A and B are shown apart, each in its own frame.
Chain A
Amino acid sequence: MTHQVALTIMTRIKPGATEDVKQLLKTMSTNVAQNDVIPFGKLSAIHFARLLVLDQSTDLQGAVILPHLVFIGECDAPLDRLLDDLVDLAGEGLDKIYRHCEGYPAEGNVTRSLRLAYLRANMVKPQAYYVNTVGRTVQQILQEAQLRNAIQDFLDRSSQDWSGYSALEVRAKIVAYLRSEQTLNWANHPPAEPGLSFKLKETLHMIAVPLLLLILLPILILALPVWLIFLRMHELSDPTPDIKADPAHIQELAALEDIGAQNQFTALGYIKLGRFRLLTVLGVLMAIDYAVRHIFNKENLAGVKTIHFARWIVIDEQRRAIFASNYDGSLESYMDDFIDKVSWGLNAAFSNGVGYPKTNWLILDGAKDEQAFKDFIRVHQIPTQVWYSAYDHLTALNIANNAKIRLGLSKDMSETEAAEWLRLL
């Protein structure tokens, strides 16, 4: 068993090729799992994937940023194996896509190793990466869903009135049934943990960062008042226009939403000009990265339990940032969760972006201005042309519940514990 890794490949689209790329992505989106460009369903290590175009844009100082193609994947490690699978299963598909992008080998010259080299050369590292539950692989999620279905079907099929039975007796019947099913034998053992080297690395990181901060503490104490003064100056003078999204833009986004139990979200925005905001956002993203790696790494992002994956990536020589996530339910409920449960976290990161509602002391207000915040979200959200989920019928809470069902099978239980376990069904 293994941990998850964030794949981001960002490439510049050749002049005039943007529409062709969009057209190609459109053909992929009609059957994402089995499309003949990249059949995501055959890549067993991918939880979610998306391809999207960042249209040409003009930065805050008038310079043009050319169109880019971004390929994002939430994957089970190791990344090497995933890239191998990708070029083996979709080599020609990659050619179809990336021949529209700068630097891709010319037709006829493409080889397996050149494809690999191209993907590697254009990989971007996110500044922060949230994983709902570190170490829960695609295979585990799919298997545990199958396990729950098998138990539910068994209970339905037996159509027995269980009311006279004790919890332990019902559990024993279920367990006996599962033992008789060869294909479910894996469920008798708990899932494997992430690899030792990964755990060691994470533990080191968990300790090293506070240690480093401790060493830097004298400097930080001196810097804090200065930073706060700068912060207040910026907060009081930054313009906060409440711009409503164009109805056509909203319609284009909405057409891609609410098809399964989950949704994708991609937002793109400019970081406010000047070193202060850039340093602040980089510092905040470091803090987020630390928090999601060591504190919010199991089924819960500061009280929000509906996010599968999320990443923050600073791009374009630190002029813009992308936020990309996979979440359950509607955008309306997602935004309400942001406002009601984690506005402080959003404020800290996004208030360094242009157009965000006014914050105070970095984490106060901001998203609490409900309608201005929802307008900001829609204005900055961009269409995700291709989106794939390996388990689009499962919410993060369903997945967590399935994992508990499985874990309960390899334990000895008292009557009370058995009753608790049966409540998971």
Chain B
Amino acid sequence: MADTLDFQDIQGLIIRGYGNLKAACYILLAISDPHSAKIWLKALVDAITTGQAGPKEQALNVAFTYPGIKKLGLEPAALAMFSDEFIAGIVDPHRSLILGDVEESSPEHWIWGGPDTKSVDMVLLLFALNNQKLSQLYETHAQAFATHGVLEVQKLDTVDLGGKEHFGFNDGISQPVIEGSHRTALPMHTIKAGEFLLGYPNEYGLYTNGPLLKSSMDPDGFLPSDKNGSGNVDLGRNGTYLVFRQLRQDVLGFWQFIDQATKKSDGRSDPTARVALAAHMVGRWPGGAPLVETPDQDNPQLAQANDFTYYHPDPYGFNCPIGAHIRRANPRDSLDPQPGSEQSIAIGKRHRILRRGREYGPPIDATGSTQGHSEMAGDKLTPLSDQDRGLHFICLNANISRQFEFIQHTWINNPHFDELYDDADPIVGAHYADGSTFTIQAKPVRKRLTSLPRFISVVGGAYFFMPGISAVRYLASI
């Protein structure tokens, strides 16, 4: 029997993505005066949206970086119990190497979260029904910043593209379901709560290490006791790590590359081939239908299809290329020790993340429609084409190194993923010199593209901790 989730104490964003709240912004904050900031934080606690019920009008969630929690004054022994990745932060030379944050994505070029930009201590995530209501929500909170020792480092706005991302593909279709969260899904997608929340058993049946405190450090009794039986109180319970990366998308470059690669022998563009190639790189058609189920054309009826596996229908990648983005971001049953087996799926379940990101920047298509995206190649450029656009990638996981970083390093950026040689992820991969090939398995023999440029660059990022509500209350009280 799974633990009952403590919805009242879990921040709402962990339970749901607030799809009904179309407007969102993320406020990066620095704490200049911890004493005043804690007074502000204490008042903010009641405004935090919990996981109890889906918010109808607006939502607010909050997360802290390691320097942020340190500034609030958490005792060193508890600070040291956070994970190494969180303590070291996303900007660390070795971490940059494994995440692919090099060359143009190197943190020294970042617009926030980098070594040369202002320190970020926390993030306020605001959601509302529309932009007008979002502005009101933002104003309400922003007016308190200056008087409470909190500085706004940056306000990151988002845009609603109706479920599409900027390249023109439906996004966010596949999400794991937290066991015990009242949603049901195939066992393959149903993941132990401990993979997304501290203080619950994970896919190994164990509790992920987190910050514990002697109960004497919590005289007001804000914190729950450690479920793992240490006798301490648990600052981590109902909390999780939030990975935030601002990913700039080169939409024009993407479609121009694809246009070149699919030109007919007489030099004319081939719109059908263009969309097909892009779909092979993604692993789904723009409408969302997975190639493994419909390899030759989009099929609106399969737009939300997610209950497929790879190995049995398509062991060799003839439908969906082995290196396609979705086949490597979540390989389902395709990897060793025994592809196609329950064991393969079980191992994959230790490497899942909850995605909560949103797009930013105007769509490249001036009409705001994403239908015409593949037409962007070459001749129909719009005045908006040189503006900055991309994804505020946000994911939640209890163990950054085994979940987010593993996916990014061992699956996405690894040119040798699943017996490949030189193929990093064709869409989001870092495309080092030896990882810039894209192989399309085919009969009688493979096709391949070489020298893929980088379509996505990282321009900001940080590792945050999103505490349980009572842990925020505790942090405000110390």
What residues on A are CB-neighbors of B347 within 8 Å? 336, 340
- Besides the known contacts A165-B444, A397-B419, 20 further A-B residue pairs in the complex with CB atoms under 8 A apart: A152-B448, A162-B445, A163-B443, A169-B444, A247-B87, A257-B94, A258-B97, A261-B415, A330-B406, A330-B409, A330-B410, A332-B406, A340-B337, A369-B206, A370-B402, A371-B206, A393-B434, A398-B419, A419-B444, A423-B316
Which residues of B are found within 8 Å of A398, using beta-carbon distances? 416, 419, 421
Contact with A along B92-112 (1 / 0, CB 8 A): 011001100000000000000
A330 lies within 8 A of B350 (CB): no
A: interface residue count bin: 35 or more
A250 at the interface (CB under 8 A from B): yes
Q: Are B336 and A305 in contact (CB under 8 A)?
A: yes
A155 CB–B CB distance under 8 Å: yes
Secondary structure of the B contact surface, majority rule: loop
Query: Whole-angstrom distance from the CB of A335 to the nearest CB of chain B?
Result: 9
Q: In the assembled complex, how far is the CB of residue A175 from the closest CB belonging to chain B, in whole angstroms?
A: 13
A11 contacts B by Cβ under 8 Å: no
Q: How far is it, in angstroms, between the C-alpha of A189 and the C-alpha of B88 when the chains are bound? A: 53
**Closest chain A CB from B469 CB (angstroms):** 26
Whole-angstrom distance from the CB of A300 to the nearest CB of chain B?
Answer: 9
Chain A residues with CB under 8 A of B443? 163, 167, 419
The residue from B209, B350, B410 contacting A371, defined by CB atoms under 8 A apart: B209
Q: Which listed residue, B206, B401, B445, touches A155 by the CB 8 Å rule? A: B445
Q: Would you call B336 and A255 a contact (CB within 8 A)?
A: no
Contact B448 A156 (CB under 8 A): yes
Assess whether B308 is interfacial by the CB under 8 Å rule: no
Chain B 435-458 near chain A by CB (<8 Å), digits 1 or 0: 000000111111010100000000
Beta-carbon contacts under 8 Å, B168-204 to A: 204
What are some 12 contacts across the A-B interface (CB < 8 A)?
A156-B448, A162-B444, A167-B443, A169-B444, A247-B84, A258-B409, A330-B98, A340-B337, A369-B206, A371-B206, A397-B416, A422-B446
Residues of the B chain whose Cβ atoms lie less than 8 Å from the Cβ of A58: none
Interface residues on B, range: 35 or more
A422 to B209, CA, bound (A): 47
The 9 nearest A-B residue pairs measured at CB: A303-B337, A254-B94, A333-B410, A167-B444, A395-B416, A422-B445, A170-B444, A397-B419, A370-B204
Interface residues of B (CB under 8 A from A): 84, 87-88, 93-94, 97-98, 204, 206, 208-209, 316, 336-337, 347, 350, 401-402, 405-406, 409-410, 414-416, 419, 421, 434, 441-446, 448, 450
Main SS of chain A's interface residues? helix
**A23 at interface, CB cutoff 8 A:** no
Does A50 count as interface, using CB distance less than 8 angstroms? no
Instruction: Report the separation of the CA atoms of residues A155 and B447 in the bound assembly, to the nearest whole angstrom.
Output: 8
CA A163 to CA B440, docked complex, whole Å: 13
For residue A166, CB closer than 8 A to chain B, the reply is: yes
Q: How far is the CB of B225 from chain A (nearest CB, A)?
A: 20
Closest residue of chain B to A149 (Cβ to Cβ) is B421
Asked if A332 and B401 sit within 8 Å, CB to CB, the answer is yes
Contact B446–A425 (Cβ < 8 Å): yes
Q: Shortest Cβ distance from B226 into chain A, in angstroms?
A: 15
Interfacial chain A residues near B419, Cβ < 8 Å: 397-398, 401
- Within the assembled complex, what's the spacing in Å between the Cα atoms of A340 and B343? 9
A328 sits at the interface (CB 8 A):
yes
Q: Which residue of B lies closest to A173 (CB)?
A: B445
Bound Cα distance A2, B405 (Å): 40
* Neighbouring B residues of A332 by C-beta, 8 Å: 401-402, 405-406, 409-410
Which residues of chain A from 369 to 402 have any CB-CB distance to chain B below 8 Å in the complex? 369-371, 393, 395, 397-398, 401
Instruction: Check B94–A251 contact: CB distance below 8 A.
Output: yes
Chain B residues whose CB sits within 8 angstroms of the CB of A155 once the complex forms: 445-446, 448
A411 contacts chain B at the CB level, 8 A cutoff: no
CA distance A258 to B316 in the complex (A): 28
> Is A368 engaged at the interface, CB distance under 8 Å to the other chain?
yes
Interface status of A329 (Cβ within 8 A of chain B):
yes
- List the B side residues contacting A425 at CB < 8 Å: 445-446
B84-A336 in contact (CB<8A) = no
A341: interface (CB < 8 Å): yes
Q: What residues of A have a CB within 8 angstroms of the CB of B434 in the complex?
A: 393
CA distance A167 to B446 in the complex (A): 11
**Which of B94, B206, B441 meets A255, CB within 8 Å?**
B94
Chain A residues whose C-beta falls within 8 Å of the C-beta of B442 in the assembled complex: 163
Q: Are A166 and B414 in contact (CB under 8 A)?
A: no
Given contacts A162-B444, A422-B444, are A258 and B94 in contact (CB under 8 A)?
yes
A164 to chain B, nearest CB (A): 9
